[in-house]
Amino acid sequence: MTRAPVAGGRVVRVATLLTLAFGAAHAQAVVSNGPRALARLDAIAARSAAVQAGLGITVPAGTYLRLEATVAGGPSRRDGAIVGGGRADLLGRFLVDPFAQTARGPYAGGGVSFRRDGGDRTRAYLLAVFGVEGRRRHGAYPALELGLGGGVRLGVALRGSPAGRR
Convert the pLDDT of each residue in 112-161 to its tens digit.
999 998 878 999 999 999 999 999 998 899 999 999 998 999 999 999 98
Q: Which domains does the chain have, with CATH numbers?
A: 34-160 (2.40.160.20)
Task: State pTM to two decimals.
Answer: 0.76
Q: Decide if pLDDT at 35 tops 50.
A: yes
More confident of the two residues 4 and 110: 110
pLDDT given for residue 78 in this prediction:
84
More confident of the two residues 34 and 22: 34
pLDDT given for residue 9 in this prediction:
55
Report the pLDDT averaged over residues 35-64: 95
Convert the pLDDT of each residue in 3-29 to its tens digit.
544 445 554 554 455 455 444 444 444
For residues 107 and 143, give the distance between their C-alpha atoms in angstroms, rounded to a whole number: 10
pLDDT given for residue 123 in this prediction:
94
pLDDT given for residue 47 in this prediction:
85
Convert the pLDDT of each residue in 55-79 to its tens digit.
999 999 999 999 999 999 999 998 8
